[in-house]
């Protein structure tokens, strides 16, 4: 198996998801910090790995994969031993819907609130709070019916994808607090 190299930044929630999943899989990897605040993401060498200049990016041998959701999917398919992603098309489609939920609702809700609180960036707090509340309501309803975001007795990449937004929501007083059931995604 080829060596994995993760290009990341310690403050990136998307990098956190991939680091978490690599850890849960017990996979060794080399981490390389991309200093986004100093423009390292826009350097030609890095743009050849991650065309948008964003983190994370994963290099597996000769192949580069960008975007945390794509990386989670790739790792689940190539190294997850069938435990982190459904085998059937419907299960995979539902997992992808949770990945899109993470990239949209959770990014525009709790992650946006984190950006406002931690980095003092302008954010529509009212809208981000409403999105957070709506997103957490859906997650709580799902977790009231089953132990994980996807059916089964084991977490999936859907849980990993949503984990950071739950964690980061505790950084902001304006973020809706999730119930103790919802914190399963973080454990």
**Secondary structure (3-state) at 8:** strand
Q: Measured between alpha carbons, how far is 121 from 85 in angstroms, rounded to an integer?
A: 35
CATH topology of domain 89-186: Glutathione S-transferase Yfyf (Class Pi); Chain A, domain 2 (1.20.1050)
Residue 166 has pLDDT above 50, yes or no: yes
The structure's pTM equals: 0.87
Instruction: Look up the CATH architecture of domain 4-79.
Output: 3-Layer(aba) Sandwich (3.40)
Number of other residues whose CB lies within 10 A of the CB of residue 15 = 24
Q: What percent of the chain has pLDDT over 70?
A: 88
Backbone angles phi, psi at 33, to 5 degrees: -75, 130
Structure token digits, residue 23: 């850890």
Q: Measured between alpha carbons, how far is 135 from 113 in angstroms, rounded to an integer?
A: 13
Q: For the chain, what is the mean pLDDT?
A: 88
Q: Where are the domains of the chain?
A: 4-79, 89-186
Tens of pLDDT, residue by residue over 54-112, are 999 999 999 999 999 999 999 999 999 999 999 999 999 999 999 999 999 999 999 89
Q: Measured between alpha carbons, how far is 33 from 120 in angstroms, rounded to an integer?
A: 23
Helices (H), the chain: 13-25, 44-47, 68-79, 89-101, 107-108, 110-119, 125-145, 157-169
């Amino acid at each position: 198996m080829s060596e994995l190299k993760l290009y990341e930044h310690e403050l990136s929630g998307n990098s956190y998801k991939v680091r978490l999943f690599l850890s849960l899989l017990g996979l060794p990897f080399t981490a390389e910090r991309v200093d986004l605040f100093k423009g390292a993401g826009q350097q030609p060498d890095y743009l050849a790995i991650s065309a948008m200049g964003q983190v994370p990016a994963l290099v597996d041998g000769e192949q580069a994969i960008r975007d945390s959701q794509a990386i989670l999917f790739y790792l689940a398919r190539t190294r997850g031993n069938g435990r982190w992603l459904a085998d059937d098309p419907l299960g995979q489609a539902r997992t992808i819907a949770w990945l899109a939920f993470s990239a949209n609702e959770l990014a525009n809700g709790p992650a946006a609130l984190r950006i406002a609180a931690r980095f003092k960036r302008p954010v529509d707090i009212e809208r981000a709070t409403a999105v957070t509340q709506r997103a957490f309501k859906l997650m709580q309803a799902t977790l009231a019916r089953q132990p994980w975001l996807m059916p089964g007795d084991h977490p999936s990449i859907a849980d990993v994808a949503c984990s950071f937004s739950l964690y980061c929501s505790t950084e902001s007083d304006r973020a809706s607090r999730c119930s103790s059931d919802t914190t399963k995604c973080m454990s």
